[in-house]
Chains A and B, each alone.
Chain A
Amino acid sequence: MDRRSYLKASGATFAAMGVAGCLDSFTGGDGETITIGSDIPYRPFEYNTEAGDLVGFDVEIAEAVFAEELDYEYEFQSTSFDSIIGSLNNGNFRVIMSAMTINEERAEQVDFSDPYFTAYQTAVILSGSDITSKEDLRGVDVGVQKGTTGETAAEAIREEFDGELNIQSFDQITGAFDALLNNQVVAVINDNTVNAEFANQNDEVQFLEGEGEAADMGENAPPYLTLTVEEYGIAFRQGDDEFRQEVNEGLAAIRESGRYDEIYAEYFEG
């Protein structure tokens, strides 16, 4: 076999292997690996322990739904939140589980599963800060994470204040929290559970108090100011309906079996 025909033959072999590989992943079946895009760390939804293990509410829900209920393998892929929907649609991963709020703009780009979590946008401040109400935020610096509904909520407040709010957008929520501790912003606007985790871990941080959206909606309102009420969903590429249906059934099953409550209690009622 001369060099040229060798190259041709091996090229054909690789092409065949490639096609076979693709077919494999389309036929689905047991043990198939689902890649999950997620912005890590976003405590307590997805973060690494000091030992390096990935844990969090989303991670355990993924374990329960994908591994236990549906018999898939899964792996998390860390990515930045502001470009996460583009990455999903580019095929970098199969689904997004990243404490993602379901909203209309996003729903035009992706399909969401049934909601699996209710969250509120809230503000955390330093204890002893002179901010005591939403109105006190007029004209100050607030920290948010790029591309989050916290950023959207901050933009809504800025509009309400006729532009008198300076929003600093960080790549990850930890950057915004650092900025709060470092006196660069006076408040961080973000999901209640993540803010709560941060406030719990740091004695000098507390929620901005007051009644808000949640109380207005007559919900079982938390004891701090809520700017918006939102629901999280798992995001799928449009047209991935069969798989989405499967996952919805999985979500329903873990709620039924009490597994969901177990995980919820582990992260939010400890």
Chain B
Amino acid sequence: MSDALSEREEPTGASSGLLANDDLVRRIGEVVAGLFLAVVLGVLGWTVFSEVDPDLLQTIFPRFVTAYLLVIRIVIVSSILSVSAGIIVGLARISSSPLTSNVARGYIEFFRGTPLLFQLFLIYFGIPSLWGTGQFPISDWEIPAAVIGLTLNHAAYVGEAMRGGINAVPDGQMEAARSIGMSRVQAMREVILPQAWRNALAAIGNDQIILVKDTSLLTLISVPEIMQVFRSVNSATFDPWTPLVWVCLFYLAVTLPMSKLVGVLEARADWGSDRKSLAKRLGSRMPGGGTS
């Protein structure tokens, strides 16, 4: 913390060159950001205006809504399952038993080290073929296959995030808890995990947003999700831009509320920390460059 404060103590406009001038750097930043915004809005606006067919936009809307609702349902189920499973994987990973921790490690290395698409194919095409031709008992297997694939894959990432979160809790916490007579499990539950959860939350939230985007791979196992609707419309009309507009908006309609939710969870898990008040102090431009 003292590092961050001392950086702001440098006098403005010192003799060490142009880039040390805070206000000038700020202005340059604003010009670059403004230009970027203007170019993006200009190109995007022009493209949407000239390429998008409003009638088609309306016709295909219900198809995207159907796909969106399916994606939402798959995401909710996979999210809950993968975070729950991931916590268990993370705990197994730090187990003092070599068997448990190595099994968890192998699990993580496999699911993190192979592509999700491979895992989906393994589950969707591989598993049913173990039965005889036409004997596989579960119909509409693509949906369970999708949920299983996303869950197993993301449980590995959540497990690693949890392990990181637990390791970031200082050893003294465990030692202190043990020294007042708590068992290891009890200390883990009462003392370590609440802090580890706070540490891991940002990484887990990030992973869950990636999970949303990973649903786009499900088109390859015939799940009628958002990219599938795009491909179907595009191959029938040869118009890429009109369905692309919906693809973009509908994915954002999943991920933006999710990152909001992660933000709320982070704020809740952050109780008792002085981080927010500190951030406020650092963020405000105090006259004289700020002092401690």
Contacts and interface: CB of A to CB of B under 8 A. Distances in A.
B137 to A, nearest CB: 8
Given A181-B129, A184-B128, A170 B222 contact: yes
B222 A179 contact: yes
Closest 5 CB pairs of A and B: A147-B235, A182-B128, A82-B235, A183-B136, A168-B222
Interface in B129-158: 129, 131, 133-137, 139-142
A182 B224 CA distance: 18
A141 B139 contact: yes
Given A183-B128, A184-B141, A169 B228 contact: yes
Size range of the chain A interface in the assembly: 20 to 34
Contacts of A146: 228, 231-232, 235
A168 B238 CA distance: 21
A171 interface: yes
Contacts of B232: 82, 146-147, 169
A141 B140 contact: yes
Contacts of A175: 125, 220-222
Given A146-B231, A183-B135, A171 B220 contact: yes
Contact of B129 (A86, A141, A182): A182
5 contacts: A146-B235, A168-B224, A181-B129, A182-B141, A184-B141
Interface of B: 125, 128-129, 131, 133-137, 139-142, 219-222, 224, 228, 231-232, 234-236, 238, 240
A184 B234 contact: no
B265 to A, nearest CB: 37
Question: Which of B125, B140, B222, B238 has the most chain A CB within a 10 Å cutoff?
Answer: B222
A167 B205 CA distance: 35
B142 A168 contact: yes
Interface in A70-100: 81-83, 85-86
Interface of A: 81-83, 85-86, 105, 108-109, 126, 128-129, 141, 143, 146-147, 168-171, 175, 178-184, 202, 204
Given A146-B231, A181-B133, A204-B133, 8 more contacts: A85-B235, A146-B232, A170-B222, A183-B131, A183-B135, A183-B137, A184-B136, A202-B133
A179 B135 CA distance: 12
A86 B128 contact: no
B132 to A, nearest CB: 9
A259 B196 CA distance: 73
A204 B135 CA distance: 12
Contact of B134 (A143, A147, A181): A181
Given A168-B222, A171-B220, A175-B222, A183 B235 contact: no
Given A178-B125, A183-B136, A183-B139, A83 B222 contact: no
Contacts of A171: 219-220
A168 B146 CA distance: 15
A25 B63 CA distance: 44
A82 B129 CA distance: 27
Nearest to A205: B133
Contact of B240 (A86, A178, A182): A86
B139 A184 contact: yes
A109 B237 CA distance: 10
Contacts of B235: 81-83, 85, 146-147
Contacts of B221: 175
B222 A126 contact: no
A146 to B, nearest CB: 6
A82 B234 contact: yes
B231 A83 contact: yes
A170 B232 CA distance: 11
A178 B129 contact: yes
